[in-house]
Structure formats: structure tokens, C-alpha cells
Amino acid sequence: MKKYLNIHLWFILWIGWSPLYLPAQVDKYMEAIDCYQKKDFACAKSKIDEVVLHPETKEEPAAWTIKAYVYFQFFKNYEINNRFSKYRQEAIDAIKKSESLSPDLDTKEQNKKLLKIIAESFYNQIKIHLYDSLNYNACIELYNNYKNIYLTYNPNIDFKNKDIEFYLSVGGQFVSTIKQIFDLNKDVDESTFNKYTEIAKISFNKVLELDPNNVSALEGLAITYYNQGAHIIKSMSFDIPIEQIEQMQDKSVKYLKQALPYMQKAYELKPNDPNIVEGLTGIYYALHDNEKHLEYLKKLEKLKKEKK
């Protein structure tokens, strides 16, 4: 409340040199804040829009900051799921404007606080586009927006852990979707399958660039390659000429062999993880390597018994 009063006082002092015109702007500015506090954001918006357009107050950083807060509330209330929200963009632009007008420390702090929240609003939207609509491009765009905005108020931030979280989530979601397609025996067109597979690979490889021993990414890549090999056989027509069965197997085996080193490395790092051991049994089975398949099957049974 103290700060709230301070800004009013400061604003009144600032506009005090223009007695003929400015009292009306003071009123509007204070009314905007009042409306905002009362959560009447439509009222706050109409008042602050006037303040920031007025020739005598349009260069006032605090007014732009308030505009940013008001517009961000509009984003929250009306466009929370819209990644192209004009209200949010207006809020970002208003903060930029405020910053360009050499704001005092207090206003700067408010700008920084809101920028962080805006950045996180982009991150939050990734969930919608990843889990609901599986829109990879939207996720990348939102994540880049999140990072770019974050960098404006914290230029020294290290995104490594966030990058890992993001790319594991993307890769994991696309692998899960492919697995669901398999499990539910759904038909999927080749281009969709290939697209999902490539996204999963790109995502897991990004994680491995940052953390070469990331078990989840290793496992994810192994599963992705396995799925590619399995998909070739699964989609093979029963009317295929017999001589082509071997060609299809050649293609499938190529992917299955690519899956193996990733799952083996994951196993070296986490030998007691039943999912990884199960992965190895599956890959060796698909490669018709009965000896290895049984070897890992025994390990899996042992691990399951130990867990009980």
C-alpha cells in the first residue's frame, strides 16, 4: 500500500508543472490504478489507454508499466490459451516502451517482475500445444519466446536444465503418441509417423548434446529407433511378394540395430531399471537374437522379483 501511495505522489509531483492541463490526466491515471486494484480491468484499460496516448503523459514510464499490467490481465482473462494474444504482445510492447523512457528503479523492478511472468506465460502455453494438439512448431516458438523474454530481464541465465526439461518433454510426448498408435493398433499415415519420429529424434539428440549421459534421452532414442523398425514390419502388407519380405526386414533391422547402442548405454548407466532391461529384451527379440533376449529376460524377472 505504501508503494502504491508513493507512486501516486511521485506521479502528482511529476505532472505538477502543467497545472492547466494535467489534473485530468492525474485523475485518469489514479482511476486506472484504482480500477486495477478493484479488478475492474475494462475500466483500468480505458483510463490507462488515454493516459499513455496523451501528449503530456505518453512519455511517463510508470504509465506504460501500468498499461502492461492491465493488458496482461486482459490476456489472462480472455486469451490465456492464445499463443498469438494481442493483449500479451501489447503488454510486452508497453514494458519495452517503459524501459525506453529511463524508468526509475521501482518501475524497473515492476517491469522485470511482469516480464518474468509474461515469459512464464509462454512456457505455460507449451503444455496446451504439446499435450493437447501435439503442435511441435508452436512449442518451439513458445519456448523461444519464453527464453528471449527471460533473457531480457536476466541475461546471465543458464537454460541448460530448462532446455533438457523442454526437449525431454517434447521427445517423450511424441514417443508416447507413437506408442499409443502402436498399442491401440491405430492406422497412421507414413508422413505423420515419420514426422513424429523425426521430432522425437531431434528432441532427444538435443538433450544428449547437453547431457550425453541422460538416461531418459538415451532410452527415448532407443525406443524411437525401435518403433521405426517395428513400424516397417507392422505396416507390411500380407500381399507383398515373398522376395520383398527380406527387403522389408533389411530396413527394419537397420533401425533396430540403431536402437541397440542407445539402450545399451542407458543400461550401463542404470542397470537396475526394469524399463531399460525390458527395452533390451524387446530389441534383441526383434533382432531374433534369442540368446541375448533370454539373458535380459532373466535379468528382468530377477529385477521384478527384487522389487516385490
Partner 1 sequence: MRYFIKHTVLTLCGVLLFSSFKQNYDINAKIKAVYIYNLTRYFEWPESAKSGNFIIQIVGNASSLIKELNDNVVSKKTIGGQKIELINSDKIDKNKIPHIVYITPESSSKIKNIASEVKNKGTLLITEQDGAAKTFAVINFVVIDNKQKFEYNKQNAIKYGLKASEDIKQLASAVY
DSSP 131: I
Closest CA to 256 of 223, 234, 217, 278: 223
- Closest distance of CB 5 from partner 1, Å: 10
- Closest distance of CB 133 from partner 1, Å: 15
Only one residue has cell 529407433, namely 225
Q: Based on the shown chain and the rule CB under 8 A, indicate whether residue 294 belongs to the binding site for partner 1.
A: no
Q: Which of 132, 187, 243, 306 binds partner 1 (CB under 8 A)?
A: 243
Closest CA to 84 of 150, 137, 163: 137
Cβ neighbors of 206 (< 8 A, separation 6 or more) are 163, 167
Give yes or no for a contact between 64 and 97, defined as CB atoms under 8 angstroms apart: yes
Q: Based on the shown chain and the rule CB under 8 A, indicate whether residue 187 belongs to the binding site for partner 1.
A: no
* Contact stretch for partner 1 (CB under 8 A) within 15-23, 53-61, 68-76, 148-156: 68-76
CA dist 82 and 59 (Å) reads: 30
Q: Which of 55, 241, 305, 306 binds partner 1 (CB under 8 A)?
A: 241
x/- contact string, 135-164, with partner 1 (CB under 8 A)? -----------------------------x
Cβ neighbors of 152 (< 8 A, separation 6 or more) are 115
Sign of the torsion angle spanned by Cα atoms 258, 264, 266, 269? negative
Which 107-126 positions form the footprint of partner 1 (CB under 8 A)?
110, 113-114, 117, 120-121, 123-124, 126
Q: Based on the shown chain and the rule CB under 8 A, indicate whether residue 4 belongs to the binding site for partner 1.
A: yes
Residue ranges in contact with partner 1 by CB under 8 A = 1, 3-4, 7, 33, 36, 65-66, 69, 72-73, 76, 110, 113-114, 117, 120-121, 123-124, 126-127, 130, 164-166, 168-169, 172-173, 175-176, 179, 182-183, 185, 216, 219-220, 223, 226, 229-230, 233-234, 236, 238, 240-243, 245-246, 249-250, 252-253, 256-257, 275-276, 278-279, 282, 285-290
